[in-house]
């Protein structure tokens, strides 16, 4: 009996010790809604979401923070989750000596931007995701890195724990120095230069000199589409009559559509290409990339009415609705990985192509068309489908004309789509982000205009209505995230700025004044809660949010346009549409604050949105007012044309907007071409209005 009792006591002690040492079966992420955070909810790492609980624990226990940022579609985030973060030895050391915080960068772009700047400053500009930052208990970073395999990560953890334990004063001093650098980088020095007009020709020439004239886009690899920059070049190239700028954009549109970065079967663009030729994508598909590129192709189609651009628009929108659409809103992304591998959904073995394309002629033609090889055109034995730059060689090789080739390829494409539909599809991050949905509203609006597609118009308006009804609250303001039928998280400047722009685009699409009223409501909130005391620019976060160690002013373009420049454009547009001088004045002050940087143009890729704002402020722009019973018909006809930088307004009845007041006449529809509220003699048809816009 004594021996049995002793054994039971010993077993209980062992179990207690084991439970103290074993990582938790479920950590503090289990109650989160973010798919990215939930991906880590069963890691042995005792993850916390970003919260006061986690920060207080670090301060109380004087432990360093590990702040790990990523997103659900990120391939290397998956690899690290399955590797280092699932390693029990790593987890045990991390849980004992650190407080681990996991951040979905799409939910909290402010946190990501702060620690990404730490990474950029410490690693010579080479950074990405997953982003892993070691920080003091108060959140000040001391070092940021990216992906680590398990063994290396354990060594890194040990190094920073030892450094902090042995010489905390040195670590604190370094953190203070790094904080000063971050604060300088994430704010804009206050200047009072007065009105300075940048040189648009010089700025445009600077960008044109960096175009890859063989492959399109800009030189170097990895290669990102850079839609904001290409949109600027197309608009100003047209207005400046710079044919080289326009040809660079059109070449880029052509080459991207031919490459593996574009899904040749289902449409839609991957985030970027790992090579200069757009051949091999980094496979995740993001809503914002596709929204911006759809906008760009719609503008390209307006410019030259290339039917291939219309095809890309339709296929890309079809992809979004097939894979990223909720009920009147859109999901964030489609994963890079499936079946445990990167790009598995998109790749083809030679044997799979043979089995799927049983007609020998169709098989031979399709493999030649898509550039497939028995040995693979990517990794060994794997093919990524790409389109040819010309059908001439295929016509000669197969003795078929282009129409016959296109017809045969349509058959092959349908067969391959059917086969791929049987594969497990990559996971979808089903959270809706306000700013990204706003970009998709603009994409649908632009596409509805370019192609005269009523279904796109209906979808754009429905999404705008959904966001207003589900993500805006007159007491709480705008929310950033919608997931599991609930809105959450305060909106950032990006959300406000893009949504205001989307609502302006919906007004131009429909001439329904409610969209201007909603845009103005949101603008008033931006002015109230995002303002900077000594600058006309805006903070990235509201004064109602908990603040980080630096309250950032995001003023440079990245892949998406900087929300500050977009907000400056919004103020100009609303000032013109609503005749509000204070808005126009604020917009001019924003342009003046940044113009000195535009004159230097040290990094033109980050300044294109500001150049667009400066064009509004310093060059001739038009308001196009269409008033009368046929206003919708004439609007549709005019908006099929490429008319960059100009604003549309109108009504089919008497309207109290300043520029429309007193212009309605029963049984007549007039088109007014105006500059700064001063209108020329009205005309009654589109060709005459286009003639006035050209200054004739």
pLDDT tens track for 177-194: 999 999 999 988 766 666
> Are 381 and 499 contained in the same domain?
no
Calculate what percentage of the chain has a pLDDT beyond 90.
Answer: 90
Backbone φ and ψ of 538, nearest 5°: -125, 150
User: Which CATH number does the domain housing residue 149 bear?
Assistant: 3.40.30.10
The pLDDT assigned to 20 comes to 43
Return the pLDDT at 559. 96
**Is 9's pLDDT higher than 80?**
no
Using CA atoms, how far residue 448 sits from 321, 455, 519, 625, in Å, is 15, 8, 21, 19
The residue out of 133, 161, 185 marking a domain boundary is 185
Of 567, 594, 618, the one marking the end of a domain is 618
Long-range Cβ contacts of 362-371 (<8 Å, 24+ apart): 362/408, 362/411, 362/412, 362/415, 364/398, 365/394, 365/398, 365/400, 365/405, 365/408, 365/409, 365/412, 366/408, 366/409, 366/412, 366/416, 368/394, 368/397, 368/398, 369/394, 369/405, 369/409, 369/412, 370/264
Sign of the alpha-carbon torsion through 446, 449, 455, 458: positive
Instruction: List, for residues 574-593, the tens digit of each pLDDT value.
Output: 999 999 999 999 999 999 99
Same-domain pairing of 396 and 366: yes
Q: What is the pLDDT of residue 36?
A: 98
| Parent domain of 21 | 2-185
Q: What is the mean pLDDT of the chain?
A: 94
More confident residue, 23 or 404: 404
Q: Are residues 260 and 333 in the same domain?
A: yes
**CATH of residue 254:** 1.50.10.10
Those residues whose C-beta lies under 8 Å from the C-beta of residue 669, and which sit 6 or more positions away, are 626, 627, 628, 629, 630, 631, 633, 634, 684
- Cα atoms in the Cβ-side hemisphere of radius 13 Å centred on 664: 17
| Residue 192 counted as domain residue | no
Poorest-pLDDT segment among 116-125, 152-161, 225-234, 260-269? 116-125
The rounded percent of the chain whose pLDDT value lies above 70 is: 95
Q: Give yes or no: residues 360 and 310 share one domain.
A: no
Same domain, 515 and 386: no
In-domain check, residue 191: no
Query: Could you give the CA distance from residue 133 to residue 50 in angstroms, rounded to a whole number?
Result: 13
The verdict on residue 194 lying in a domain is no
Burial class (CB in 10 A: 0-12, 13-18, 19+), 62: exposed
Q: Quick one: 156 and 207 in the same domain?
A: no
pLDDT at 105 over 90: yes
Tell me, yes or no, whether 67 lies in a domain. yes
Neighbours of 565 (CB within 10 A): 27
Are the beta carbons of 35 and 72 closer than 8 angstroms?
A: yes
Nearest to 325 by CA among 426, 432, 435, 483: 432
Given 185, 212, 228, which residue is the final one in a domain? 185
Q: Give 14's pLDDT tier (boundaries 50, 70, 90).
A: very low
Is residue 361 predicted with pLDDT exceeding 80? yes
pLDDT for 293 equals 99
For position 194, what pLDDT does the model report? 63
**Helix locations, 511-562, DSSP H:** 514-529
Contact 279, 429 (CB under 8 A): no
What average pLDDT does range 639-650 have in this prediction? Answer: 97
Q: Is residue 665 part of a domain?
A: yes
Average pLDDT (43-51) is 98
Tell me the CA distances in angstroms from 185 to 113, 179, 566, one per residue in order: 11, 10, 20
User: How many CB atoms are closer than 10 A to CB 672?
Assistant: 22
Instruction: Give the Å distances, CA to CA, from 14 to 9, 18, 20.
Output: 9, 6, 10
Q: Look at residue 75 and tell me if it is in a domain.
A: yes
Q: From the CB of residue 9, how many other CB atoms can be counted at a distance below 10 Å?
A: 10
In this predicted structure, the answer to whether residue 606 has a pLDDT above a threshold of 70 is yes
Provide the CA 443 distance to its chain's centre, in angstroms: 12
Q: Are residues 533 and 628 in the same domain?
A: no
Rounded average pLDDT over 37-58? 98
User: Is 563 found in the same domain as 435?
Assistant: yes
User: Predicted confidence band at 354 (pLDDT cuts at 50, 70, 90)?
Assistant: very high
Instruction: Flag whether pLDDT at 601 surpasses 90.
Output: no
Residue 193 lies in a domain: no
Look at 308 and 695; give whichever has higher pLDDT: 308
- Token reading at 197: 């007009």
Q: Do 318 and 393 belong to one domain? A: no
As a whole number of angstroms, the distance between CA 333 and CA 34 comes to: 12
Residue 19: pLDDT over 60: no
pLDDT tens string 250-305? 999 999 999 999 999 999 999 999 999 999 999 999 999 999 999 999 999 999 99
pLDDT band at residue 123 using 50, 70 and 90 as cut-offs: confident
Q: Which two tokens stand for residue 21?
A: 């040492």
Q: How far apart are CA 682 and CA 634, in angstroms?
A: 13
Together in a domain, 121 and 170: yes
Asked if residue 190 belongs to a domain, the reply is no
pLDDT of residue 106: 98
Q: Phi/psi at 487 (nearest 5 deg)?
A: -95, 150
Q: Are 660 and 669 in contact (CB under 8 A)?
A: no
- Domains identified in the chain, total number: 4
Residues 6+ apart with CB under 8 A from 379: 347
Please tell me whether residues 657 and 584 are part of one structural domain: no
The pTM (predicted TM-score) of the whole model is 0.95
> How far apart are the C-alpha atoms of 386 and 257, rounded to whole Å?
9
Residues contacting residue 578 through CB under 8 Å, at least 6 positions apart: 516, 520, 657, 658
Query: Do 100 and 30 share a structural domain?
Result: yes
Q: Quick one: pLDDT at residue 695?
A: 81
pLDDT of residue 3: 44
């Amino acid at each position: 009996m004594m021996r049995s009792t002793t054994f039971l006591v010993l077993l209980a002690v062992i179990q207690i010790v084991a439970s103290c040492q074993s990582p938790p079966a479920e950590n503090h992420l289990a109650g989160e809604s973010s798919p990215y955070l939930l991906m880590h909810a069963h890691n042995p790492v005792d993850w916390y979401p970003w919260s006061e609980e986690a920060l207080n624990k670090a301060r109380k226990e004087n432990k360093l923070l590990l702040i790990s940022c990523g997103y659900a579609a990120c391939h290397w985030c998956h690899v690290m989750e399955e590797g280092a973060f699932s390693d029990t030895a790593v987890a045990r050391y991390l849980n004992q000596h650190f407080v681990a915080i996991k951040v979905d960068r799409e939910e909290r772009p402010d946190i990501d931007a702060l620690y990404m700047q730490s990474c950029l400053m410490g690693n010579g500009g080479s950074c990405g995701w997953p982003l892993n930052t070691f920080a003091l208990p108060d959140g000040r970073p001391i070092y940021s890195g990216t992906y680590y395999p398990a063994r290396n990560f354990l060594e890194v953890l040990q190094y920073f724990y030892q450094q902090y334990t042995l010489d905390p004063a040195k670590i604190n001093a370094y953190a203070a120095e790094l904080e000063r650098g971050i604060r300088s980088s994430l704010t804009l020095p206050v200047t009072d230069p007065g009105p300075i007009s940048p040189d648009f020709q010089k700025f445009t020439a600077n960008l044109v000199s960096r175009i890859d004239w063989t492959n399109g886009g800009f030189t170097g690899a990895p290669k990102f589409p850079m839609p904001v920059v290409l949109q600027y070049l197309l608009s100003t190239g047209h207005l400046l009559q710079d044919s080289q700028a326009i040809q660079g954009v059109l070449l880029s549109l052509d080459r991207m559509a031919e490459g593996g970065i574009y899904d040749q079967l289902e449409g839609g663009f991957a985030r970027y290409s790992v090579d200069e030729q757009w051949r091999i994508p980094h496979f995740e598909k993001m809503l914002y990339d596709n929204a911006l590129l759809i906008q760009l192709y719609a503008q390209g189609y307006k410019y030259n009415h290339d039917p291939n651009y219309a095809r890309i628009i339709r296929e890309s929108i079809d992809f979004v609705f097939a894979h990223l659409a909720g009920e009147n809103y859109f999901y964030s992304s489609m994963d890079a990985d499936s079946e445990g591998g990167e790009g598995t959904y998109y790749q083809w073995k030679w044997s799979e192509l043979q089995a799927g394309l049983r007609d020998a002629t169709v098989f031979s033609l399709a493999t030649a068309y898509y550039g497939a090889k028995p040995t693979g055109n990517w990794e060994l034995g794997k093919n990524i489908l790409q389109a040819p730059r010309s059908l001439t060689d295929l016509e000669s090789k197969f003795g078929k004309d282009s129409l016959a080739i296109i017809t045969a390829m349509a058959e092959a494409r349908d067969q391959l789509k059917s086969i791929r539909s049987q594969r497990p599809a990559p996971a979808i991050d089903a959270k809706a982000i306000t700013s990204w949905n706003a970009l998709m509203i603009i994409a649908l609006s632009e596409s509805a205009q370019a192609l005269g597609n009523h279904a796109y118009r209906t979808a754009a308006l429905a999404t705008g209505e959904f966001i207003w009804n589900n993500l805006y609250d007159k007491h709480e303001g705008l929310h950033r995230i919608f997931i599991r039928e609930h809105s959450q998280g305060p909106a950032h400047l990006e959300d406000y700025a893009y949504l205001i722009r989307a609502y302006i685009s919906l007004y131009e699409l429909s001439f329904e004044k409610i969209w201007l009223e909603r845009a103005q409501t949101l603008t008033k909130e931006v002015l109230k809660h995002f303002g900077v005391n000594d600058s006309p620019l805006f903070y990235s976060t509201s004064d109602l949010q908990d603040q980080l160690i630096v309250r950032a002013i995001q003023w440079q373009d990245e892949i998406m346009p900087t929300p500050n420049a977009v907000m400056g454009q919004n103020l100009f547009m609303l000032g013109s549409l609503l005749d509000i001088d204070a808005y126009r004045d604020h917009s001019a002050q924003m342009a003046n604050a940044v113009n000195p940087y535009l004159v230097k143009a040290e990094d033109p890729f980050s300044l294109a949105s500001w150049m667009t704002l400066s064009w509004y402020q310093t060059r001739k722009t038009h308001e196009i007012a269409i008033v009368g019973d046929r206003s919708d018909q004439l609007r549709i006809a005019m908006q099929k044309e490429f008319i960059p930088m100009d604003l549309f307004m109108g009504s089919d009845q008497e309207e109290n907007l300043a520029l429309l007041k007193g212009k309605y006449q029963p049984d007549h529809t007039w088109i007014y071409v105006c500059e700064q509220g001063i209108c020329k003699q009205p005309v009654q048809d589109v060709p005459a209005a286009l003639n006035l816009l050209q200054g004739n």
